Amino acid sequence: MSSREIDAESGRLLNDQDGAFEWRWEPQSSDEEDGLNQDGGDGFKTPSKKLVLTAYGEEAEVPEVKEGMIFPDWEAIDVQLKGYDRKRKVSGDVGTSDNQVHVGSGVRKSKKCECPVQVFASVNEIGQWVIRRQADDGRLQDVLWVDARSRAAYEEFGDVVCFDTTYLTNQYRMPFANFVGVNHHGQSILLGCALVSRENSDTFEWIFSHWLECMGGKAPIGILTDQDAAIRKALRSTISQTVHRWCLWHITHKFCRKLGKNEEYQELKEDLEHAIYDSLDVDEFEMNWATVMERYNLSEEESDWLEGMYAERVMWIPAYLKHLFWAGMKTTQRVESINSFFDCYVDKHTALYEFAESYCEAMEGRANAESKADESTARNIRQILTGFPIEEVFQKCYTDAKFNEVQRECSKMLYVNCVRRKMLDEALEEYELEDKVWVKPKYSRKEILTRRKIKHMMVLFDLNNQTEVPEKYILRRWRKDVQRKHTKVKVMYHDPLKTEAVCRYDNLQVLFDPICKKASSYKETVDIVVEIFQLLEIRLDDKISMLDR
């Protein structure tokens, strides 16, 4: 059935071809409760009239239709229209495409459908931030949502963040943007999301400034985004101290469109990728890039584009960004993995008012996946492969996923030999290592590390009989022996009390909190508790070692 447009002035259904529907306005008393204004009026206008729909002899009250409004609880309307054929449900398209609302077969019959603001704000919890702004005429423009779990996770994993807006341009046309980090298992973790009206610097400035406020004013060290002028301008004005990096994949993906007409395109593409991915330092990149520009006959358009990208090389070339820790994120494909995760819950037929509910279902699955990884790491220990002492160090402290990466480097140590070592002075020694490598096909797309390889550092530890690793080389973010705050936070889509480990943790807190409060009155009582806790920790370590065998 075709969608039906409603004249907001008269309430007349503009394209009701079969005449089965009749709409009329009726006065609404000032004390009558308005379903769209439950939060006190912030974000929506309070209608002075109510719209009554008559369909096949049955009546139902409908919220006043205004341009850009998001309809509430259509299921309740459907319940009132008991005699109404469900196959002929109304589909109302009101206002601009940015705020388009669909009501049809995609609505879940078993759950209440509310607008995103109502769903996001429906749970009364400490630390939840739902910020929205509206146009002068009262239309909802943008919504930023950062729940308590995301805020707690940011404290641990907020040093490197990806910001993605692909849901503004992909097949779903959902006005959805998100902030994503990486947790201790190397999994993508959501650090906030926004429903936005349009892609411009004003909108992004509003998002970034309020998101930063939600996170206590602590800016990330680095942020990864698409090559977007509006995002760049907004970041400069809101979190200028953060290093901004462009997604490398999106830039190289443009080669075909920008350079594809060149007669030697395939060779040109390979040489460019060689300069980008295989240059170990800035000088080597400069030399390789200059060679490419001299070797090929480029058109004026091709040359201008490459010169423009070269001028912005500090934004995307790995050799210029190697001094920062990026937690394994080099492209926004990390964020797109979050988006693909939503694909299981959201499709191109999902309406805006349905999205919030689907979002919560998706995030529950994401939180459960992290909980399962935590439980697996706690219960299972990956076996030692090489016998190098350094491998045992990381086995004890890193999560399974990250220890697996360490093991891959340890296995490569078997092919590294020291051929010469020379003392340069009392505090400095030089090593010459021979490394057997297998070369991939020409100009592999895989980005290589632009510093000394991890395996080479491990070999030096082994050559000097070092069985301990300095703490500065063991990153807290990958450790499994850290109690992380965000895993204990209850939100609308995840209850950590469902896990046995969290139940035990909470029970211990109940026991220890009174003791800590009682002991804090005097230094002498604090000393007693500390002494007992130290003895208790020794017994715990012995017991855990025995259980882990």
Q: Does one domain contain both 515 and 538?
A: yes
Average pLDDT for 524-539: 93
pTM score, whole prediction: 0.63
Q: Does one domain contain both 163 and 137?
A: yes
Closest CA to 150 of 133, 128, 132, 117: 128
Q: Does one domain contain both 95 and 158?
A: no
| Residues in contact with 457: Cβ distance below 8 Å, sequence separation at least 6, in sequence order | none
**432 domain residue, yes or no:** yes
**126 domain residue, yes or no:** yes
Q: Read off the pLDDT of residues 30-68 as tens digits, 9 standing for 90 and up.
A: 443 333 333 333 333 333 344 444 443 444 444 444 433
Q: Does one domain contain both 455 and 400?
A: yes
Q: Does one domain contain both 102 and 157?
A: no
d(CA 296, CA 395) in angstroms, rounded, equals 50
Q: Does one domain contain both 122 and 30?
A: no
Q: Extract the tokens encoding 344.
A: 């299981």
pLDDT of residue 398: 92
Q: Does one domain contain both 344 and 231?
A: yes
Average pLDDT for 440-452: 47
- Residue carrying structure tokens 């349009």: 198
Quick one: CA dihedral 33, 35, 39, 43, positive or negative?
negative
Single-letter amino acid, residue 120: F
On the question of pLDDT at 17 being above 70, the answer is: no
**504 domain residue, yes or no:** yes
Helix (H) or strand (E) holding 51: strand 49-55
On the question of pLDDT at 446 being above 90, the answer is: no
Helix axes 400-412, 454-463, angle to 10 degrees: 70
- Long-range contacts, stretch 79-84, CB < 8 angstroms, 24+ apart: 81/53, 81/55, 81/56, 82/58, 83/56, 83/57, 83/58, 84/55, 84/56, 84/58
Note whether 129 and 145 are within 8 A (CB). yes
Q: pLDDT tier at 21 (50, 70, 90 boundaries)?
A: very low
Average pLDDT for 485-503: 70
Q: Does one domain contain both 330 and 343?
A: yes
pLDDT of residue 83: 35
Domain boundary among 112, 141, 157: 112
Q: Extract the tokens encoding 487.
A: 């895993």
Output 146 or 339, whichever has higher pLDDT.
146
Domain boundary among 289, 315, 341: 315
Q: pLDDT tier at 526 (50, 70, 90 boundaries)?
A: very high
- Residue carrying structure tokens 């299981």: 344
Average pLDDT for 239-259: 91
Range with the poorest average pLDDT among 51-65, 150-164, 416-430: 51-65
pLDDT of residue 342: 66
**131 domain residue, yes or no:** yes
Q: pLDDT tier at 351 (50, 70, 90 boundaries)?
A: low
Q: Extract the tokens encoding 261.
A: 């007409």
Q: Read off the pLDDT of residues 339-350 as tens digits, 9 standing for 90 and up.
A: 566 666 666 666
Domain count, the chain: 5
Range with the poorest average pLDDT among 72-81, 181-190, 209-218, 433-442: 72-81
Three-class secondary structure assignment of 327-390: CCCCCCHHHHHHHHHHCCCCCCCCCHHHHHHHHHHHHHHHHHHHHHHHHHHHHCCCCCCCCCHH
| Residues in contact with 17: Cβ distance below 8 Å, sequence separation at least 6, in sequence order | 2
Q: Does one domain contain both 310 and 345?
A: no
Q: Sort residue 392 into left (φ over 0), alpha (ψ -120 to 50) or beta.
A: alpha
Note whether 99 and 139 are within 8 A (CB). yes
pLDDT of residue 68: 38
**417 domain residue, yes or no:** yes
Note whether 140 and 68 are within 8 A (CB). yes
Q: Read off the pLDDT of residues 176-218 as tens digits, 9 standing for 90 and up.
A: 788 989 999 988 888 988 888 888 999 999 999 999 998 989 9
CA atoms within a 13 Å half-sphere pointing along the CA-CB vector of 215:
25
At residue 24, the 3 state secondary structure works out as strand
pLDDT of residue 45: 36
Quick one: CA dihedral 211, 217, 222, 228, positive or negative?
positive
Q: pLDDT tier at 259 (50, 70, 90 boundaries)?
A: very high
**79 domain residue, yes or no:** yes
On the question of pLDDT at 424 being above 60, the answer is: yes
d(CA 52, CA 64) in angstroms, rounded, equals 9
Q: Read off the pLDDT of residues 361-376 as tens digits, 9 standing for 90 and up.
A: 777 888 888 888 988 8
Q: Does one domain contain both 33 and 97?
A: yes
DSSP characters over 98-126: GG----STTS-TTS----HHHHHTSS--T
d(CA 164, CA 338) in angstroms, rounded, equals 10
Distances 178 to 146, 164, 193 between C-alpha atoms, Å: 10, 6, 4
Q: What is the mean pLDDT of the chain?
A: 72
- Residue carrying structure tokens 């592999």: 444
The overall longest dimension of the chain from CA atoms, in Å, is 97
**381 domain residue, yes or no:** no
d(CA 497, CA 467) in angstroms, rounded, equals 39
**185 domain residue, yes or no:** yes
Average pLDDT for 210-235: 92
d(CA 290, CA 388) in angstroms, rounded, equals 43
Domain boundary among 299, 315, 331: 315
Q: pLDDT tier at 390 (50, 70, 90 boundaries)?
A: confident
Note whether 181 and 154 are within 8 A (CB). yes
Q: Does one domain contain both 474 and 415?
A: yes
Per the structure, the complete domain to which residue 397 belongs is given by 389-478
- Percent of the chain whose predicted confidence (pLDDT) is above 70: 63
Average pLDDT for 137-161: 85
> How many CB atoms are closer than 10 A to CB 293?
15
d(CA 115, CA 108) in angstroms, rounded, equals 14
Q: Does one domain contain both 55 and 155?
A: no
